[in-house]
Chain A
Amino acid sequence: MKRTNLKTNDLILQTTVNIVFFIIFIFSIYIFFAGHYTPGGGFVGGLLTSSAIVLLLLAYDVKTVAAIVPFNFLKVAAAGLLIALATGAGGIFYGEPFLKHAHGPVHFPLFGEIELASATAFDLGVYLTVVGVTMTIIQTIGETE
């Protein structure tokens, strides 16, 4: 189809995206932390976060989004893999097998005792990897003309 040079006014889309971005982003964080007891986890949370960023890409152009979210997403994916590897390797230093996870109450100065599991850190690695890989794919496709 013929490319039209219509300069369209994106005000409605951009205003809505400004609000909806935060809803999706907060929901993705919720999904990420809810993964231990309810459906959710690092993979779905990562996909939701990257879908929120893709929504920004739809409403604004690539340069604006690169200024809003100033990450090199390849490095984000690498950091996620590194975090997952580090939590897996953490068990080795305590004489346990690789990927052996620990959990237990941790005392915080303000919140009191909270039960923490090191599987969450592994999930954080999954989350960052999914965000990094998805955004790398979409940005790479989007930049080629």
Chain B
Amino acid sequence: MIEISKAISGYLILQGAVLCFIASIGVLRLPDVYTRNHAASKGATLGVMSLLLGVFLYFLMVEGHFNSRVLLGIAFVFLTSPVAGHLIMRAAYNTKVPLWENSVQNDLKKKNAGDPERTSHPRIRDK
């Protein structure tokens, strides 16, 4: 039983580390702020949650210690990290950071079409 739980928590920790690694590669490789933020907020959130779940299972099954703070940390990361990503993205869009030149869809552009304050900047352009 202990060996099985060690294997499961080891797998979860490895999966979390690999997901964080993939997220960091995404931040390096993707072309603009929005896609980079997409990679960072999604990949790193799931990676950190897997890591914490692995740690929680290890301490529960091997050490016999129920650590509720780690569970709270999982819930907290799940709750706050996407919101942080959303706020960064919106701040970027509102300060007229341009989309990737091959982007095909900009729904906010159409939504803000009547508002000169939001559409007057030349750097945001439709495809």
Contacts and interface: CB of A to CB of B under 8 A. Distances in A.
A19 interface: yes
B117 A16 contact: no
A8 interface: yes
Given A6-B94, A8-B90, A23 B117 contact: no
Contact of B95 (A1, A12, A16, A20): A1
Interface in A14-45: 16, 19-20, 23, 27
Nearest to A30: B69
Contacts, number: 28
A12 B90 CA distance: 11
A1 B75 CA distance: 36
A2 to B, nearest CB: 9
Interface residues of A, number: 12
Contact of A5 (B76, B83, B117): B117
Contact of A27 (B72, B83, B95): B72
A23 B86 CA distance: 20
A20 B117 CA distance: 33
A4 interface: yes
Contacts of A6: 94, 117-118
Interface centre among A6, A19, A27 (most CB of B within 10 A): A6
Interface string B52-84: 000000000000000001001001100110010
A23 B76 contact: yes
A121 B80 CA distance: 33
Nearest to B94: A6
Given A6-B117, A6-B118, A20-B76, A13 B87 contact: yes
Contact of A4 (B69, B79, B80, B95): B95
A71 B69 CA distance: 29
B115 to A, nearest CB: 9
Contacts of B118: 6
Contacts of B79: 16, 19-20, 23
Interface of B: 69, 72, 75-76, 79-80, 83, 86-87, 90, 94-95, 117-118
14 contacts: A1-B95, A4-B94, A4-B95, A5-B117, A6-B117, A8-B94, A12-B86, A13-B83, A16-B80, A16-B83, A20-B76, A20-B79, A23-B72, A23-B76
Given A13-B83, A16-B83, 7 more contacts: A1-B95, A4-B94, A8-B90, A20-B76, A20-B80, A23-B75, A27-B69
